[in-house]
Amino acid sequence: MDREWFRGQVVFLTGGTGNLGSCLLYKLAIQLPTAKIFVLVRGSVQRAIEAWEQSIPEQVEEIIATCKIQFFLGDMTQPNLGLSPENISRLQNETTVVMNAAGDIALSRDLAETIPVNCTSHLTLASLLDSFTQLQRFLHISTTYVSSFLPNGVVKEQIYPLYKDPAEELGKILITGKSSYTKQFAAPYALAKHLAENLLLGGNHKFPILILRPCLISPAIEEPYPLYGSDGAIPVHSFLQILLGDSEHWYLKLEQRLPSHAPCNEIPVDLVARTCLAHVAQGTTGVVHASADLYVSRTIGGFLERMRRYAPEGAAEQVKKAGLHHGDVTAPEFYSMIQQFARDWKIECTRSAHLKHVAGPLGLDLGNHDPEIFFKLRIERLAKSILPKLESATVANNKVYPNIS
């Protein structure tokens, strides 16, 4: 796969402070011969650097030292993405590639809350891009959950239409905040992203569009470093924290309550980034999946069995005593969502199968990587981040309810 394609390219990256975006940024800045990377950041440059100091502490200096990074203050939900007129004109004249990895992955948002960031902001970006004079590629990050209304079976790399007129459907949502289709999706987030895909591809834009749909993202195997990834953007880690937080639904009950035969569709974040970059270099258009087929396919049961095998001694007992609370999604709500939507989907990844034979920063040939050893290390790291929270939750519970343990 041709990393040379990136020589001299000027990339505009959104979501560059996020989990996937920071991995893309690392690869674009360090591994590929790009000329410049314009990064859209919210709030301030300081805020972006602080986010990277947390997530990629050992890489941030190296990235900045490339002198490729330039910051553009903005907000995806504002008109013209909140960019200043000078910055818009700079982007219009210089950008050759746009990678759109901004989004709000919270499943708890209602439709009215999620539409601005996960749908209309992407349409604002696309109409701005029609005025970019050098643009060659546009990559938009979506999710395999846009197809979560489908029954069990094969999910192809295509849009499955649902409503007669997506623009009319969005118009209704913008007025009422509601849609009759919401319940068919795993979360309002997925409906917002389904609408965005439809409206982007049907928008008659002047530039080619690549939509990349990752499944659930898991920690990196290699880049920017092994096990990179914030728990908040790794759904399985967030889900586990939600479930561990409820004494009625904790760890040992997981296997009885979850459909163990259903696929646990996860892919490491760096393999998603490699798939994105390879298809950008290739000039692919339309929909591409990045799902477990490109790494290792496991079932929910297989995942839980390994989790129990590799969890440190005493972890289950500690979970039992604690009562963590996580965000605003409760364990019963989560169980009902997963029972309804952990379907037997076979998410096709045929458009990227050739990448399994390609090594290097744009390939999915994993060389000596051992998924089993890696999984063990992942569970050990996860336990390290969860167990101290459980310990303090147990102490707090014992203060409030001295007899609870």
Which chain residues interact with ligand NAP by CB under 6 A? 14-15, 17-21, 40, 42, 51, 75-77, 101-105, 117, 141, 143, 214, 216-217, 233, 235
Strand-pair category, 10-14 with 266-268: unpaired
Specify the residue, 227 or 387, whose C-beta has the smaller distance to ligand NAP. 227
Specify the residue, 156 or 321, whose C-beta has the smaller distance to ligand NAP. 156
Decide if 140 contacts 200 (C-beta within 8 A). yes
Residues 6 or more apart whose CB falls under 8 angstroms from that of 83 comprise: 40, 72, 73, 74, 91
> Closest CB to ligand NAP belongs to which residue?
18
Question: Side chain identity at 167, as an amino acid letter?
Answer: A
Tell the smallest beta-carbon distance from residue 122 to ligand NAP (Å): 9
Tell the smallest beta-carbon distance from residue 223 to ligand NAP (Å): 14
Tell the smallest beta-carbon distance from residue 28 to ligand NAP (Å): 15
**Tokens (6 digits) for 123:** 């349409």
Q: Quick check: helix, strand or coil at residue 361?
A: coil
Tell the smallest beta-carbon distance from residue 8 to ligand NAP (Å): 26
The alpha carbon of residue 2 and the mean position of all alpha carbons in its chain are separated, in whole angstroms, by 25
Neighbours of 148 (CB within 10 A): 19
Query: Strand runs (DSSP E) across 219-325, as ranges?
Result: 266-268, 286-290
Specify the residue, 101 or 264, whose C-beta has the smaller distance to ligand NAP. 101
Specify the residue, 11 or 101, whose C-beta has the smaller distance to ligand NAP. 101
Tell the smallest beta-carbon distance from residue 190 to ligand NAP (Å): 9
Tell the smallest beta-carbon distance from residue 395 to ligand NAP (Å): 30
Residues 6 or more apart whose CB falls under 8 angstroms from that of 316 comprise: 251, 252, 308
Element (H, E) at 121: helix 121-129
Q: Quick check: helix, strand or coil at residue 59?
A: coil
Question: Side chain identity at 125, as an amino acid letter?
Answer: L
Neighbours of 404 (CB within 10 A): 13
Tell the smallest beta-carbon distance from residue 235 to ligand NAP (Å): 5
Alpha-helical runs (H) found in 245-351: 254-257, 269-282, 300-310, 315-321, 331-341
Specify the residue, 271 or 319, whose C-beta has the smaller distance to ligand NAP. 271
Specify the residue, 102 or 307, whose C-beta has the smaller distance to ligand NAP. 102
Specify the residue, 17 or 148, whose C-beta has the smaller distance to ligand NAP. 17
**Tokens (6 digits) for 253:** 């009950």
Specify the residue, 20 or 254, whose C-beta has the smaller distance to ligand NAP. 20
Using CA atoms, how far apart are residues 65 and 69, in angstroms rounded to an integer? 9
The alpha carbon of residue 401 and the mean position of all alpha carbons in its chain are separated, in whole angstroms, by 38
Decide if 292 contacts 215 (C-beta within 8 A). yes
Specify the residue, 76 or 98, whose C-beta has the smaller distance to ligand NAP. 76
Tell the smallest beta-carbon distance from residue 163 to ligand NAP (Å): 20
Specify the residue, 288 or 390, whose C-beta has the smaller distance to ligand NAP. 288
Q: Nearest-CA neighbor of 252 among 185, 304, 174?
A: 304
Tell the smallest beta-carbon distance from residue 75 to ligand NAP (Å): 4
Using CA atoms, how far apart are residues 263 and 339, in angstroms rounded to an integer? 12
Tell the smallest beta-carbon distance from residue 323 to ligand NAP (Å): 26
Phi, then psi, of 211 in degrees rounded to 5: -110, 115
Q: Nearest-CA neighbor of 27 among 283, 367, 294, 275?
A: 275
